[in-house]
Structure 1
Amino acid sequence: MMISVSRFGAALALTLFGLCGGAHAGPAIQTWSTPNGARVFYVESHALPLVDVQVDFRAGGAESPAGKTGVAGLTHALLDNGAGDLDEEAIANRIADLGAQMGGSADMDRASITLRTLSSAAERDGAVDLLATVIQHPTFPAASFEREKARTLAGLKESDTQPDAILSRRFAAAVFPGHPYGRLPTVDSVAALNRDDLAAFHARTYTAARAVVSIVGDVSRADAEAMAAKLTADLPRGEAPATSVNTVLPEAQTIRVAHPSAQAHIAIGQPGIRRGDPDFFPLLVGNYVLGGGGFVSRLTKEVREKRGYAYSVFSYFMPQRDVGPFEIGLQTKGSQTDDALQVVNATLAEFLDKGPTGAELQAAKDNLVNGFALRLDSNRKVLEQVAVIGGFGLPLDYLDRFPDKVRAVTAAQVRDAFRRHVSPAHLVTVVVGGDGDKAAAPRAEVAR
């Protein structure tokens, strides 16, 4: 597991709301490439004597070979369990001695490694040297591999009994049939992995052509160039993977999975949009009205406030490197499942037909614009945004233009964008559980 002084993992939220617009200008982003082809994105900030670094690789779960799902997560988790001539304990001690923090996360698109270090030359250079060793020369020790594999298997076996985890797996498979986004790790796929699989995955995906280095903080351009070069110098150049666009839309269906939980766990959705889609801003604003705005959203008003079917109901688009999902989610008593679904579908149908009202549109834009400053109020938050911009090829002035893009959205644009990306003919509904509600009729697993 990626470690730090406090052994934390810096999970990144790459949902549609990862960048909320506002009235302030974004940071000045400089960019270049290292000698072996890795892309670098840099923001200079001397407010604190700290430097934040994130190195992203196109090495997420979607890159796992067929039949080897789980290899991406295990590879990432074991990077700092042994590297170069250092074992796990030596790496942890070195991080503590430097006063640095190292973490990371892996999702379907990216494997990320983060570093926070003091900007003084000795500490900064030592921390960067250590991170470079971890990224470029992991050894995947046998004992660590077996331990992490066992931990992963135990987690998967436990998740196979949990309705939320079952829902996620069935929803992904139904929304993305035949696509890597629909293939999640299983007990069987992880059990079949060995250390050679991890080494081969690292050699293929942890390359300069797949790397993006983001640096924010108290460091000069010249020193940032040296840091980026050091972090990628020993990586093979490799080749950037081809960009693909998923054009497969599932047929509308309802999948019911038996589970003894009293609450039915429900997901409704389909493939939505990819990063950089021109409909991003209309969908962002419109989704705030539909289900992204918490207690002020239409779904909350109709499902929770008027009828009491659920404590929480939400919707979101998750733009990814390829077309990510649109999803509506809620939990309700098993006996209320069909009634709740009817209300959700009716609310969505009305929104697709008419779009937001003028008052709803203005409230959504005001909220998104006014929240901008909170998304850029620390170096680490700036780093996350810069990494998204660099990793997904967004314009360098994306943050500068965000407020005006939000303000410019019209009700007609929202309605038209939703009609392009959300269709009842392709909506998949997955219901897990609810059988424990005594008022609910017993049912076996069916798909229709």
Structure 2
Amino acid sequence: MIAIKKVASSACLVCASVVFYAAPAWALLPIQHWTEPSGAKVWLVESPVIPMVDVQIDFDAGSRRDPAEKSGLASALALMAAKGVKGQGAEAALDENALGEAWADLGAGFEAGADNDALRYSLRSLTDAPLLDRAARLAARQLAEPSWPADIWARDRARWSASLREAATRPANVAAEAFATAVYGSHPYGLRTTPDTLARISVQDLQAFHAQTVAACRARVSIVGAVSRSQAQELVTKLLARLPATGAECAPLPAVPEVEPLKAAAEQAIPFASAQAHVLIGQPGFPRRDPDFLALLVGNHILGGGGFVSRLTEEVREKRGLSYSVYSYFAGGLHAGAFTIGLQTRPDQAAQAVKVARDVVQRFVAEGPTEAELRAAKDNLIGGFALRIDSNKKLLGNVANIAWNGLPLDYLDHWTQKVEALTVADVRTAMAKKLQPERMVTVVVGGKP
């Protein structure tokens, strides 16, 4: 154990000394892709400078697959992944404390999380062979053989429910929930996790959901680090070895419907005793794989994603002083995520702020950006591109994005050139195709009834 800790300490010093020199080359590192005999799909970037490896394993088991009456199931599964593993043969069972200590002794980490689309497991370890072998085998147990302790689930469910009740006392959360329901309708993206839906989730539900969705043939594995392809293949085999053998072809999971476009504008004014009114305006946007993604990224940067240099900031904050900050963004996923404009203002100014924000969107959709705005946005985005990949973990996120959304393997290589090539007409056309200012949802929380 002491030897392992010495390896971890020395490697961390190496990482600290080289991280500033490694970034410029990362954008040029090729992404390798193959399918394992188990059916697992793998994406690898060999980054040999730092003796570490980062792995992300994605499964189609996000909240879009939660039953409506048991919303929170995917997140509950991710939460319980760290609460213990079963014993098997000579391997003793580990509770949550022993599991945490085991990872601390290895100087490695293994985490799980869930979002709308995916259940994600993440491993970070040094690449020292004995240490990485132990980390992979421990991660495999946690991935395939969680112990599902009923008392721990009951404890954490109670904590989660209390947190949800507390969140319902905050106007920002009230606005976000009302907005999601209005934008997504009955689509799973709009489901709300509540104390009632959590109360319906049993350990048996967690086990069944895990058995249905977590299989080697469903895994998308992204790897960045100091490992060769053969080492990556060995690592993937170890990580997925304890999952049930299903063969390379999995039975397809049930189809999830697409998000329906809004048929008409809708407004909700929700009274709330707060000093500020919380305003959200928006509509369904587009899936992440949309071919217009970069044009929309640039367009939104000009509209409201560029901080203090955006049109919304100029009109709402600078000219009229209606809000300290105002922003907009697209949240693309496997389905059409929401386009959202958000701001806070005094309740007596909310109507004016809403009108100004709507007018800005309407003009931008109709006219598009100016050449000067487009140039400034390109310079900002291209200039900041290196910050998107300046660590193994950030690069891993980009590789996983390519893997999950079926993007070309050379997507990062051509990102800056494609942004540079965009024209005013490209941006205007893309924004006009996706945004319908006359059919947006507006939610205002704050002010007296």
- Tell me what 1:282 maps to: 295
User: Measured at CA, do residues 24 and 359 of structure 1 come closer, stay the same or move farther in structure 2, by a change above 3 Å?
Assistant: farther
Aligned 8 A contact 1:174 1:250 in 2: no
Give the aligned partner of residue 37 of structure 2: 35
SS at match of 1:147: helix
Specify the SS of the correspondent of 2:290. Answer: coil
Aligned to 2:239: 231
Q: What are the ranges of 5 or more consecutive residues in structure 2 without an aligned counterpart?
A: 6-23, 88-93
Please give the alpha-carbon distance, in whole angstroms, between the structure 2 residues aligned to 1:269 and 1:328: 6
CA contact 2:26–2:389 (8 Å) conserved in 1: no
After TM superposition, give the deviation of residue 235 of structure 1 in Å.
Answer: 2.5
Please tell me whether the aligned partners of residues 72 and 197 of structure 2 are also in contact (alpha carbons under 8 angstroms): yes
- Amino acid across the alignment from 2:136: V
Q: Which amino acid aligns with 2:137?
A: D
| TM superposition shift of 1:63 | 0.9
Tell me the percent identity.
48
Conservation of the 8 A alpha-carbon contact between 2:111 and 2:123:
yes
Q: Residue 58 and residue 363 in structure 1: after superposition, are their counterparts in 2 closer, same or farther (change >3 A)? A: same
Matching residue of 2:90: none
The alignment's C-alpha RMSD in Å is 1.7
Q: 1:207 to 1:42 in 2, by over 3 A?
A: same
The residue aligned with 2:367 is 354
Segment of structure 1 superposing worse, 97-106 or 108-117? 97-106
Q: Retained in 2: the 8 A contact 1:35–1:229? A: no
Deviates more, 1:357-366 or 1:103-112: 103-112
2:282 to 257, 265, 269: 269
Higher mean C-alpha displacement, 201-210 vs 126-135: 201-210
How far does residue 246 in structure 1 lie from its aligned partner after superposition?
A: 2.8
Residue 299 of structure 1 is matched in structure 2 by 312
Aligned: 1:203 with 2:216: no
Q: Distance in 2 between matches of 1:56 and 1:324?
A: 19
Instruction: Assess, with a 3 A threshold, how the Cα gap between structure 1 residues 212 and 24 changes in structure 2: closer, same or farther.
Output: closer
2: CA distance, partners of 1:172 / 1:23: 40
Match 2:378 to one of 365, 378, 383: 365
Question: How big is the shift at 1:240?
Answer: 4.1
- Deviation, 1:250, is 4.5
Q: Do the aligned partners of 1:254 and 1:429 also contact (CA within 8 Å) in 2? A: yes
State the partner residue of 1:259: 272
Aligned residue for 2:13? none
How do 1:34-433 and structure 2 match up within 5 A? 34-85=36-87, 86-236=94-244, 237=246, 238-241=250-253, 242=255, 244-433=257-446
Look up the SS of the partner of 2:58 in the other structure: strand
TM-score by structure 2 length?
Answer: 0.90
Q: Compute the displacement of 1:75 (Å).
A: 0.7
Q: Match of 2:153, SS?
A: helix
CA distance in 1, matches of 2:336, 2:97: 41
Please report how far the alpha carbon of residue 424 of structure 1 lies from its aligned counterpart in structure 2 after TM superposition.
2.1
Distance (Å, rounded) in 2 between the aligned partners of 1:335 and 1:278 = 41
Provide Cα deviations, 1:241-299, integer angstroms capped at 9, x if missing partner: 34753344342110111110111111100010101101111111111110000000000
Matches of 2:389 and 2:131, distance apart in 1:
26
Aligned counterpart, 1:446: none
More helix by share: 2
Map Cα deviations across residues 103-133 of structure 1 (whole Å, 9 max, x no partner): 2321111121211111101110111111111
- Counterpart secondary structure, 2:68: coil
Q: Would the aligned equivalents of 2:82 and 2:142 in 1 still touch at CA under 8 Å?
A: yes
Q: Which residue of 2 aligns with 1:14?
A: none
For 2:413, what is the secondary structure of its paired residue? helix
Distance 2:439 2:404 in 1: 30
Q: Contact 2:64/2:256 (CA < 8 Å) preserved in 1?
A: no
Residues 141 and 242, structure 2, Cα contact 8 Å, conserved in 1: no
- Asked if structure 2 preserves the Cα contact closer than 8 Å seen for 1:313 and 1:330, the reply is yes
Opposite residue 385 of structure 1, the aligned amino acid is N
The code of the aligned residue for 1:398 comes to Y
Task: Label 1:69 to 1:250 Cα distance change in 2 as closer, same or farther (>3 A).
Answer: farther
Preserved CA contact (<8 Å) 2:47 2:225: yes
Amino acid at match of 1:239: A
The total of aligned residue pairs comes to 416
Q: Deviations over 1:168-225 (max 9, x none)?
A: 1111110011100011211211122111111111111112243211111111211110
Q: Distance in 2 between matches of 1:230 and 1:74?
A: 25
Instruction: Using structure 1 for the length normalisation, give the TM-score.
Output: 0.90
* Greater displacement, 392-401 / 208-217: 208-217
2-side partners of 1:354 and 1:261: how far apart?
Answer: 37
Aligned residues of 1:119 and 1:219 also touching (Cα < 8 A): yes
Residue deviations 1:280-319 (CA, integer Å, cap 9, x gap): 1111111111000000000001101111111110001111
Counterpart of 1:113 in 2: which secondary structure?
strand
Contact kept, 8 Å, 2:55 with 2:396, in 1: the verdict is yes
Determine the C-alpha separation between the residues in 1 that align with 2:258 and 2:217: 20
Match of 1:15 in 2: none
Q: Residue type of the partner of 2:288?
A: R
